[in-house]
Chains A and B, each alone.
Chain A
């Protein structure tokens, strides 16, 4: 079906796109300024004659004995273990719910849906107290373990598995005598690709961007992820004797979001088809 393109509709949508992109443009522009330039030059354009992006990046990576690099490493650890594990558990669980009947299945559904409506904050304080009794607070485990559960990922993999893996193929593999786990790995996983990429991206974003959980769980700056670290740099200006390092906060912010933007842009085709397929009913 060929439809006429509309200039008016494009212009209206462009307004929303500008709203979405201006702060990101602001971030790029201001990452090129010195601490002094941030104050003296116009916010939405470059500082005349002074281009400090390279200096800022170098300073960000080396400031305070290179703590930023340490935070980046922590974030990567939390993402690989947390988001990777969450995707694995959601894929297994969603597939199990879509392709098997088992005693207690309805109870699983009711419990998971019910618990999702409970705000994370209702859980944060008791989780902290529990973890503290188990001696897990202020360790990477306190951030990784809660990140392993993604109810949204479970839901997405459930609808996706139901649609992408035909029962006939599973039945054929079973008649050939293949075990369930072998069938899952050889027959189903290849078909689940776009769904897995979609869930992985959303859990990666959730873990990379997590703030509240590590804020509660971690005291030691050496275990901070980037989000908490950046905010501690920002707060530094307000403390007695603290040095204002807004240029580093801004450049660090830019460095923090680049990997995620790159992942979304590079994997666009996969996660968009995965998301669309996941929203099919029946």
Chain B
């Protein structure tokens, strides 16, 4: 080992050549086709407008100013923003607590908990939403059964007041385990020496969590928050699949994503749909960047 260490040390541990491209090239090629080209095409589309008379013409930023004054777009945006500030903290806090509990070594049946809480992640959003949709139903669903059995009237999960919270519950159910696993894996690589010195210093469980575990989780927390921000702003599957159960509450513009989808596929307004998608992309990137900066600053 000592010999190879000595051999590795002098400056050129890694070759600086084009050989790396033979490995990274294939990924980048497909990446360019399915990420970069559509982004470019989107920007192009957003600058044009298709009129009945005159055909496709360049309109500059007209589509953007239309979107800025579009009430339907902003009400959908407000909904996902509310979703973001309520659902994401609940989900991440729950995931964090479970990860700390599983990592503490103080649980009976730790492996069972780790796996069973993770399992919903393997369930497709379609199946998860269909299942919860059935359970939410007060006619022949679980809510209906409980109403009948206990002679009570529970509030309707798909009413105007509760629909967003009901969707939040589905998303939380799907992703608590996934986030727990990200946090748990990050905790697995905390050096044991840190725990040993903490034990020598006589630190209690809570002190260890605060002084050792949470700082080690910062990177994973930033990543999980960014993914959750992106997920919230992209919200589509759950409300779209739930829509047939509550057409008056969950409209086609319920989230910006659903709005863009219905603009293009029901309204054939591709240019405006691209504009809406780009605005959402820019806002998402700005927030993801802010989360990252904050995460880095607190280091």
Contacts and interface: CB of A to CB of B under 8 A. Distances in A.
A167 B181 CA distance: 29
Interface in B159-193: 173, 176-177, 181-182, 185-186, 188-189
Nearest to B141: A43
A111 B36 contact: yes
Interface stretch (B56-64, B70-78, B81-89, B112-120): B112-120
Interface in B211-249: 219-220, 226, 230, 233-234, 236-237, 241, 244
Contacts of B274: 125-126
Given A101-B16, A154-B27, A261-B122, A5 B106 contact: yes
Contacts of B226: 117
Contact of B28 (A1, A93, A99): A93
A262 B34 CA distance: 31
Interface residues of B, number: 108
A181 B94 CA distance: 45
Contacts of B94: 16
A9 B107 contact: yes
Contacts of B98: 13, 16
Interface in A237-282: 238, 246, 249-250, 253, 256-257, 260-261, 263-265, 268, 272, 275-281
B218 to A, nearest CB: 11
B135 A26 contact: yes
Interface in B248-280: 257, 260-261, 264-265, 270, 273-274, 277-278, 280
B236 A121 contact: yes
Contact of B124 (A13, A19, A257): A257
B158 interface: no
Contacts of B142: 26, 43-44
Contact of A23 (B30, B173, B176, B185): B173
A7 B116 CA distance: 18
B109 A10 contact: yes
Nearest to A127: B38
B284 A89 contact: no
Given A14-B113, A126-B39, A209-B125, 14 more contacts: A17-B112, A20-B177, A23-B120, A24-B123, A43-B135, A99-B14, A119-B284, A125-B274, A172-B4, A211-B126, A226-B124, A257-B122, A268-B115, A281-B219
15 contacts: A10-B109, A13-B102, A17-B117, A21-B119, A30-B134, A93-B28, A117-B288, A122-B278, A129-B41, A208-B124, A227-B124, A257-B124, A260-B123, A272-B185, A279-B185
Interface of A: 1, 3-7, 9-10, 12-14, 16-17, 19-21, 23-24, 26-27, 30, 38-39, 42-44, 89-90, 92-93, 95-97, 99-105, 108, 111-112, 114-115, 117-130, 145-146, 148-149, 154, 167-168, 171-172, 180-181, 184, 205, 208-209, 211-212, 216, 226-228, 230-231, 234-235, 238, 246, 249-250, 253, 256-257, 260-261, 263-265, 268, 272, 275-281
